[in-house]
Amino acid sequence: MFKVKVRLRHGRDPREAKNAIIQVAAIHEIMITNISNAGPDLSILTASQNDVDKILNIKCVKHLEQQGISPIIPQEVRSRRTIICRKVDSYIFDEGKEDITNQIHSQNNCAEVNELVKFPNRHFSANIMKIEFTDTKMAEKAVNEGLRMKYLTIAKHQIEREMYTYIQTCMKCYQLEDHHTTQCPMDRTYTVCSECSSTEHTWRDCKEETKCCINCQGAHRTLAMKCPARKGAVTAKNKKTSSITYANKAATYQSMIPSANKSIGCNTTVNSMILQAHYNNIVYPGTFQASMTKYYKQNNMPNVLTDENPPSREIIMFVNNMPLENNNNCHPLQEPQGQATVENTPEEAAEAQEPQVQTTEENRREEVEEAAEEQGEEEEQTTESRHYEQNNK
């Protein structure tokens, strides 16, 4: 549900006001779900934000005001409808407000202006206009496309949306950025007037013509946007928000910078993969690309296509500063001239890698067995010679 508050003219009957609101809503095709009492005011409930925008449209507002009903337009909504035009050409700026309003209406698809304020200055670059439209869409279009007045164009880079900063205000004691109305520490019977600062009555019963702010004691209403105390609260809040935003941006930027340790670890992994693939390619020529693809997949890295059979033996020797055998004058990455390169089959390469030298224990075992065999042969020869001598005797 979406809610809009309306204020009744003093002495206006709430029942008659509800009937008037329903009639105005029917004229402007506004879907209202409920109208309830909110103290001296009324709350209009709608089913969509679009219906709220229709109620706060300047035409509907004027229609309700004729019935003694004044919609309370939130400052946030007014800010969304308002644009700031900077560096306005003097040919436009020097015209009257009514003429400028008519020019905006005639040259910008019947855009309707609710209020126009000029901030004159002697310097051309400081000609500033504040324009409040009757609809948020008109303000958005002006920010995105620019404005035409007197057949001149105010470019979109000269136009910006009015910034709104929410300032929490207690509607009982009117302190700024301190507490909510429902948590006000003042006594339940405490009253103060936001118009003249009197503690004898509230703003509803105020008849004083002289205004006095509760927060700064200035000659204006307490809720006036020009209040120095309110402006100070807005500046402090914007400064705090901008510092937080900058901190978030800095943190995001730092997170995008790769860590030095992470980069070193990644380079070590890649170098190990390449080295192992070269070793495999020496044993099984033509397997370099297949090995790298396998390692990329195992380490969650994108695959990179390379040569299937690079000169791995020469590359390994070059990396380790090892001279090539019988070819000291040849570049490490070049094949020796006049010699044919013979590639071994996988079976021959596997046999070449088998150990050719037996262990020490095996050698000792063989030596013992050979010694035992030799000793047995000597004993047999001795026995045969003895038998021969006895027979001769």
Q: What is the CATH number of the domain that holds 42?
A: 3.30.70.260
The answer to whether position 247 is within a domain reads no
Do 21 and 68 lie in a common domain? yes
Do 321 and 272 lie in a common domain? yes
The answer to whether position 212 is within a domain reads no
- The parent domain of residue 149 ranges over 77-161
Give the count of domains, the chain: 3
Do 268 and 304 lie in a common domain? yes
Do 101 and 144 lie in a common domain? yes
The answer to whether position 280 is within a domain reads yes
The answer to whether position 157 is within a domain reads yes
The answer to whether position 116 is within a domain reads yes
Chain centre distance of CA 242? 15
The answer to whether position 374 is within a domain reads no
Domain boundary among 47, 72, 97: 72
Domain boundary among 302, 334, 366: 334
The answer to whether position 98 is within a domain reads yes
Give the residue carrying structure tokens 């995001």: 252
Model pTM score = 0.50
Do 82 and 157 lie in a common domain? yes
Please state, in angstroms and rounded to a whole number, the distance separating the CA atoms of residues 72 and 272: 72
Whole-Å CA distances, 264 to 244, 261, 298, 361, 364: 33, 5, 19, 45, 49
- Distant-in-sequence, close-in-space partners of 198: CB < 8 Å, separation ≥ 6: 192, 206, 208
Domain boundary among 36, 51, 72: 72
**Tens place of pLDDT for every residue, the chain, 393 residues?**
688 888 888 778 888 899 999 999 999 999 999 999 887 788 899 888 888 888 888 888 889 989 899 888 888 888 888 999 988 888 888 888 999 999 999 988 888 888 899 886 655 557 899 999 988 888 999 999 999 988 888 999 999 988 888 888 998 999 998 898 889 999 988 999 999 999 999 988 898 889 999 999 999 999 888 899 999 998 888 888 766 655 666 666 555 555 545 555 557 887 888 888 888 888 888 888 888 888 888 888 888 887 778 888 787 777 666 554 444 444 444 444 444 444 455 555 555 444 444 445 555 556 556 655 555 555 555 555 554 455 454
The answer to whether position 286 is within a domain reads yes
Do 64 and 101 lie in a common domain? no
Contact indicator for 221, 210 with CB cutoff of 8 Å: no
